[in-house]
Amino acid sequence: MSLIHITEKNFDKEIVHSDIPVIIDFWAEWCGPCQMMGPVFEKLSKEYTGKLKFAKVDTESEPEIAMQFGIQGIPSLVVIHKGREVSRIVGFAPEAVLKQKIDSILKQI
């Protein structure tokens, strides 16, 4: 599944009413660690098709969504299931580490 870019317009449809859990990558262009997280996140989005939806929020163009989640540091990955936050990963994580974390979060859901 490809990455979904979240705006206020599609937030409810893609996040709140999603059938499967969602992981949102809060990022910004000026943030170095976010630039590194980008390709890792995109690669993983292809590996979890059907199990986990991968979404991105540009904190510069969508400050309201970032504020709603109390984001004060990026990159932050927030996992949402049935409209509720279930886990949060702050800071850059390499692919293997991120995969491990995602797998353990999915097991708990």
Partner 1 sequence: MEKYDLVIIGAGPAGLTAGIYAARYKLNVIILSKDMGGLAATAHRICNFPSYEEIGGMQLMERMTNQALKLGVKINYETVLEITKNKEFIIKTSSKEYSSKKVIFAGGTERKKLNVPGEEKLLGRGVSYCATCDAAFFKNKIVSVVGGSDAALTAALLLSEYAEKVFIIYRQKEFSKAEPAWVDLVRKEKKIKVLFEEEIKEIMGEVKVEEIKLSSGKKIKVDGVFVEIGSVPKLDLLNSLKIRTENRGYILVNENQETNVQGFYAAGDITNNELKQIVTASAGGAIAAYNSYKSIKGGD
What residues are labeled active site?
Answer: 31, 34
The single-letter code of the amino acid at 13 is: K
At closest approach, how far in Å is the CB of 32 from partner 1?
4
Token duo for residue 78: 């927030």
86 binds partner 1, rule: CB under 8 A: no
Hey, which residues does 87 pair with through a beta bridge?
Answer: 79
Region of 50 please: left (phi>0), alpha (psi -120 to 50) or beta. Answer: left
Piece of 1-9, 13-21, 91-99, 101-109 that binds partner 1 (CB under 8 A): 91-99
From candidates 40, 65, 102, 105, binder to partner 1 by CB under 8 A: 40
The single-letter code of the amino acid at 67 is: M
At closest approach, how far in Å is the CB of 63 from partner 1?
9
User: Mapping DSSP to helix (H, G, I), strand (E, B) and coil, where does residue 13 land?
Assistant: helix
From candidates 22, 76, 81, 105, binder to partner 1 by CB under 8 A: 76
